[in-house]
Amino acid sequence: MRIGELSQRTGISQRALRYYEEQGLLRPSRRPSGYREYDPADLRTVRRIRMLLAAGLNTATIAEILPCIADDGQSRAPVCPELYAGLSRERDRINDAIDEFMAARAMLDAIIAAPQHLRSAGVSTR
Amino acid sequence: MRIGELSQRTGISQRALRYYEEQGLLRPSRRPSGYREYDPADLRTVRRIRMLLAAGLNTATIAEILPCIADDGQSRAPVCPELYAGLSRERDRINDAIDEFMAARAMLDAIIAAPQHLRSAGVSTR
DNA sequence: GTTGACTCTCACGCCGACGTGAAGCTTTAG
DNA sequence: CTAAAGCTTCACGTCGGCGTGAGAGTCAAC
């Protein structure tokens, strides 16, 4: 498929897809015309990229990780042993982030719930 | 206390503290000299700001929320009823973010755990 | 009075993940 | 054949939360 279709089916802008290639996250083949030709497997790759970006990893880190889960879903790569340290560091970072997010959520919950016992009338919280 | 002490006791740079004031998150009084004078309560305020920033809220949003949990911890403000919508939107956003973080973590876990059943020897995962 | 630590206000720099044209080639539809 | 999509490569712009000096005032100690 070409970039327009991949963009539509993933909801990711063409600019972003080209950016991912520039950063080494995608490696589409090229038609004689120069048009990018994407493999169906790239659909899942793009979703993985988005997941990891959403979790706060940068493109350089993702570029290191992707080969380890790469390609067709069949054979996972040998899992580049030298990456373990980085992976668990990222995992720890994510865990810390989750903790902080939950703490912040608790804070917002406290604010939202507060007036319920400060006011007389029942103010619908949602 | 002055900005240096607040900076030390919170671990936040003076630049950041001045930035928070610029964005309306802190309102220190001023000495005749122009020096900022912070209230002890600002210690907790700064920690709250950091929590919310870590949860992905921007300073503008935090500026809206802060008055609702403001000041001395005694009397919570009337909780600006018009803010409920924004608050629960932020809460939803945080929940979504947590979900995405956990999904990404699961992905990393899968990568980390993968070789254990692909390899013969026991490779220590941590 | 002078040194040194502390503070002040500009104001430009940075970084990462893109957005947004611009100018030109390719492919498809009629 | 021609118009309209769709694609290409530059290359500059953006945004938010600060970092990092620069140049100058303030304050306590000696």
**Which chain B positions have a beta carbon within 8 Å of A69's beta carbon?**
107, 110-111
CA-based nearest residue to A67, from A91, A49, A88, A43: A49
Tens digits of per-residue pLDDT, B82-121?
778 778 889 999 999 999 999 999 998 888 776 555 544 4
Quote the number of domains for chain B.
2
Tens digits of per-residue pLDDT, A68-96?
775 555 555 556 677 787 888 899 999 99
Per-residue pLDDT, B93: 93
B70 to chain A, closest Cα gap in Å:
10
Tens digits of per-residue pLDDT, B34-84?
999 999 999 999 999 999 999 999 999 999 888 877 555 555 555 667 778
Q: Which residue in chain A is spatially nearest to B68 when comparing CA positions?
A: A111
Same domain, A61 and A120: no
Q: Are residues A46 and A12 in contact, defined by beta-carbon separation less than 8 angstroms?
A: yes
Same domain, B29 and B89: no
Same domain, A73 and A87: no
A36 is near strand D: CB distance < 7 Å: yes
Distance, C-alpha B60 to centroid of its chain: 13
Domain encompassing residue A119? 81-126
Same domain, A67 and A92: no
Same domain, B44 and B3: yes
Q: Which of residues 28-57 of A touch strand C (CB under 7 A)?
A: 31-35, 53, 57
Q: Are residues B1 and B46 in contact, defined by beta-carbon separation less than 8 angstroms?
A: no
Same domain, A71 and A125: no
| Secondary structure percentages of chain A, helix, strand, coil, to 5 | 65, 5, 35
